[in-house]
Structure 1
C-alpha cells in the first residue's frame, strides 16, 4: 500500500522560535522525496510532524486524503527509520524484523513468513537466525529497513538513515535503497543534509532554508536550474558573477539579464556557448574523473573561477587560455 501526503500551510514554533513558516507541499503516492537542507532548516521538524511526533502550531497534514494532524504516531499509516537502527540485540534478525507485526497481534507463523520475505528482499534471508552484533553496519541498516517495511506502511519516513555509514558503503546503500523503494512502491520521505545522497535517491528534492521551501524539483532541476541563490550555493560548488544593467560584468559585457550568473565548475571550460574571456591557470588538482582547475580571469583577477576539465585537457600552470561557459543560469540578485 502507498499514499500521497499533503502539508497545508504548516507552521510550527518552539517558544519564540519559528521552525516552519506555513509550508505547503504535496507528495505523490509512491514518490521518493528527499527533504534537504542545512542544520536548523526545518527538515527534521517537518518529518516529525508527518510522523506525528510533533503537532503543528498551525496547518494540516493529510495522508491519503485523511486528516492526520492530531493522530498519534501509532495510529498513522507511517513507519519511521532512524539513523540509530535500534535493533534489539537479544533478538534474531527474524524476530527483529517481525517485531512490529508482533506488537499488532500477528501470529508467529505469519510474522515469521513476512520477516523471511523482507529479509529475502534485502539479501539477508540466509542470516535470519543471527543477531545484530554479528552483522556489519550496512547489514544492520538493511535489517532496520526490512523491519520498517514489514508492517506495510503507506509512507516510510527515513531520518538520516545512512549517516552512520562510511562513504563507499553509503553509496552502495543509496543504490539499494532506491531499488527497494521502486520494488515495494511505498512513498518514501527521506531527510538528509547530504546533497550527493539526495541526488542519488530522490524523485524530487525539497530544498529547505530557515523553515521555508526554497525549491522543489527533480535532482536535475535543483542542480542545473536552481530557483534561488541559496539553492544554487547549497546544491554544490558554483561560480558567481554579478551582472549589472546592460549585461555589464567584471569579465566585460555579456548578453545576459541583470542578476547573478551562476556557473557550476563543470560548466566552465575551454569551449562553450558563452565566452568569459582570457584567464590564467593558477593550479590544477587531480580528482580522478576530472581535473579541478583554478583560473584567474585577466579582466578580473580578484574573482577566481573554478573549472572541472577532463583528464589531459588542462593547460600548464601559468598558461593563459580563453574560457567559456555552458548552461548559464542567471538568478535575481535579491535572492542572495
Structure 2
C-alpha cells in the first residue's frame, strides 16, 4: 500500500531562523523523490515535518487524503530510515526487523514470518539469526531498511541513509534501494546532499536552498536545463561566464551568441563535459594550464585566447592526456548552454 503526499504553503521557524519558506510540493504515489541541497537548506526539516517529528508553523501535510497536522509520528503511515541504523545490538536480525510489528501487537509467528520475508527482500535471508555486530555497514543498512518496510508504510522516509558508507558500497546500495523501491512500489522520500546519489536513484529531484524549493524535476532536466543559477551550480561542476544580454542574444568573450535571454548583466553556464572540439558555437583556441587523468575523462584547466583572465574546466576524452601548454580548439553546442541573471 502506498499514497501520494501533498505539502501546501509549509512554513517553519526555529526562533528567528526561517527554516522552511512557502513549500508547495506534490509527491505521487510510488514515486522516488530526493530532497537535495547543502547543509542548512531545510531538507531534513522538511523530512521531519513529513514524519511528524516537527509541527510546521503554517501549512498542511496530506498523506493520501488525510491531514496529518495533529497525528503523532507513531500513528502516521510513515517510517524513517536513519544514517546511524539504530539497530538493537542484543537482538537478532529477525527480532530487529520485527520490532515494529511486536510493538503493534502482532504475534510472534506472524512477525517472524514477515521479518524473514523482508530480510529476503534485502538479500539477508540466511542471516536472520545473526546479531548486528556480525554485519558490515552495508548489511546493517539493509536491516534498517527491512525493519522500516516490515510495517508496510505508505511513505518511507530516508534521512541520508548511505552517508556513513564508503563510495563503492554507497553506489552498490543506491542500486539496491532503487531496485527494492521498484519491486514494492512504496513512495520513497530520500534526503541527501550528494548530487550523484540523487541523480542515480530519483524519479524526481527537489533542489532546496535557504528553506525554499529552487527547482524540481527529472534528474536529466535538472542537470541539463536547471531553472536557477543556484541549481545549475549545485548540480555538479559548472563553468560560469559573465556575459551581457542585448535583447537579441548575448555578448560573450567569444563573440555574439544567438540565445534567448533577458537584457542586462547575465551569467552563462556550461558543463565541463560540454566543452570539446565539436559544436555549433566556437570558443576559439585555448591553452592547457594543467590536466589530470580521472579514468572516465581527463579534467583540464584551459585558458581561452579570447578571454585570458578566464579559466575553463573541461572534461576531455580519456584516451589522450593533454600536456601543459598545448593548444586546443574548443566549441560547445548552444543546447548545452544556460543563462541566468547575474
Q: What's the TM-score bracket when you normalise by the shorter of the two chains?
A: over 0.9
Q: How far off its partner does 1:314 sit?
A: 4.9
Q: Name the counterpart of 2:281.
A: 274
Q: Name the counterpart of 1:202.
A: 202
Matches within 5 A, 1:1-336: 1-246=1-246, 247-256=250-259, 257-258=261-262, 259-326=266-333, 327-334=335-342
- With structure 2 as the length reference, what TM-score do the two structures score? 0.95
SS of 1:149's partner is helix
Q: How far off its partner does 1:299 sit?
A: 1.3
CA contact (8 A) 1:261 1:328 kept: no
Q: How far off its partner does 1:276 sit?
A: 1.1
After superposition, the CA RMSD in angstroms is: 1.1
How many angstroms apart in 2 are the aligned matches of 1:229 and 1:172?
A: 31
Q: How far off its partner does 1:313 sit?
A: 4.5
Q: Deviations over 1:220-259 (max 9, x none)?
A: 0111111100001100110112221342112232223353
Q: Deviations over 1:299-321 (max 9, x none)?
A: 11111111111122554331222
How many angstroms apart in 2 are the aligned matches of 1:44 and 1:180?
A: 23
CA contact (8 A) 2:225 2:338 kept: no
How many angstroms apart in 2 are the aligned matches of 1:65 and 1:273?
A: 50
Q: How far off its partner does 1:261 sit?
A: 1.7
SS of 1:237's partner is coil
- With structure 1 as the length reference, what TM-score do the two structures score? 0.97
Structure 2: where are the runs of 5+ without partners?
none
CA contact (8 A) 1:227 1:331 kept: no
SS of 1:332's partner is strand
CA contact (8 A) 1:2 1:153 kept: yes
How many angstroms apart in 2 are the aligned matches of 1:314 and 1:84?
A: 41
Structure 1: where are the runs of 5+ without partners?
none
How many angstroms apart in 2 are the aligned matches of 1:314 and 1:130?
A: 50
Question: Which sits farther off after the overlay, 162-171 or 276-285?
Answer: 276-285
Question: Which sits farther off after the overlay, 18-27 or 251-260?
Answer: 251-260
